[in-house]
Structure 1
Amino acid sequence: MRALLVSLVLLICAQAAVAGCGAEVSACEVDLGSYHARLPEGEIKGAILYLHGFGGTGEGALRPRGWVTTALARGYVLIAPDGLPYAEGRGRGWSFIPGRPARRDEHTFLTSVRDDAAARFGFDSDRVILSGFSVGGSMTSYMACAAPGSFAAYAPVAGGFWRPHPTNCSGPVRLLHTHGWTDGTVPLEGRVLRGGDATNPEALMQGDIFYTLRLWREVNACHQLRADRFVTDGPFLRRSWDHCATGSALEFALFPGGHVVPEGWAEMMLDWYEGL
């Protein structure tokens, strides 16, 4: 009975909080920035901290759509921080590109968002998935590399490392990378954005997702180069590396589309996470 009363109090407090800082257009403030949140109607199972793509906002990332509806229905709080404004009104993004000055300590910002949201809305800060789309997926990958213990798992979509690629990471991760086979904005091999062509070491270039997977295998101390399990039915082609460091997890999911969060992604990702 006491546990039920505690749960009801937490839910009432969370709904009251979301009517203010987590409401449709009101942002929650922390020292280094702001974030938006949406709460499920019933019991809270965990949270997804989701990083928007190039030019986006936290508010825009949580507008009703397939994956948002699915995650809320499954009991997850959705948290969407605001990236830093770009110059010339090009929206917002994240500070992660190798060799460029850091515009914000993104690790401190994202972990403070995690802790602030957990305190406001009544969930366990140890049960937060870090995810993101496009450059948000890249930021997710760099967080997983630099501080793998900061979040329960990592789920980048359509974004990975940039060149020059990192050569090592801080420790094993639990990570599911999802990518479109025909993605032309962030191709699997990467692309040159500015500075001539791929022979120019000074060019601004996205990274190679296949290199990213190789690095994760090394970081997770996987016993084999090849995957241990394959899924070939349904909307995703999936490869999993199971014989790796204790507590780690690594999976790659391809779908036939382009630069989007694909239909069915949230259900697949949450099934993966809850099965760890």
Structure 2
Amino acid sequence: MSLRLVFMGTPDFAVPTLAALVEAEHRIEAVYTRAPRPAGRGMAERKTPVHQAAELFGLPVLTPCSLKDGDAQETFRAHKADAAVVVAYGLLLPKPVLDAPRDGCFNLHASLLPRWRGAAPINRAIMAGDGQTGVAIMKMDEGLDTGAVALTERVDIRPDETAGELHDRLSRLGAPLMARAMRRLEDGELEAEPQPEDGVVYAQKLTNEETAVDWTRPARDVHNQIRGLSPFPGAWCSLDLGKGPERLKLIRTSLESAGGEPGTLLDGDGRVACGEGAVRLVTVQRAGKGPMAFGDFARGARLQPGARFL
């Protein structure tokens, strides 16, 4: 026995879940993903990671720009799916689509709901200094991540872990959890509990205004900002290397107990003073360059203690 599924996802985060469902031998009737977009220097159209994975598995792929029109909804209903699995798809699912599968639509969300509903749960958890997060399997409704939760898996957030690293861990954690949920659904044993009203926090989209580092803030806040935005979109500061201010992207840091005038480079090891405490710059990136160890950057830029980061 196996379920008839529609899979809906777009980025790398969703690929392990698709692979887990294929491995579990469910019948994937169709894979929905975002349409190819121009990318790279040649601006050639690039298929999404889910699109590429689906083709490797020999699965049919659909890339509608919207699911709001009647034709798209009729096409979706025609799959006669038992359930739809949704992982970072990127398009709104209107009620006719949510209601089409026999057993509903199930979303893998990268937080412990109801905390961090919304667009950027991984980044927001780190930036807020959360000690734990996880993944949740939610039966979708018309609200923003408000559906009943069937399964969760909890993990500790490591002290220096970046959003990119946590993203990859949660992606790997969520895939077998979704496979387990679908197995329970097939056996008629999947139960979902409504989310509590207490503890709701929204993970708003990241904005450009949040990426500039303010060295007058406590070191822990600066450290969480940097790792919560790493590798994308990336926190940054400015540094004058003799030709005017240059933007420096900050990829990896650690917390230090040193202190001084906020924004001042304290030593050759990359310690920079904050409003309270200091952070050590471990990995940085100059405009147009790849990431590099701070020591290599400092030697190339002839940076000396006392330099000011703006």
Bin for the TM-score computed over the shorter chain: 0.3 to 0.5
Q: Which has the larger radius of gyration?
A: 2
TM-score by length of 1: 0.36
Higher strand proportion, which one? 2
TM-score by length of 2: 0.32
Higher relative contact order (CA 8 A, sep 6+): 1
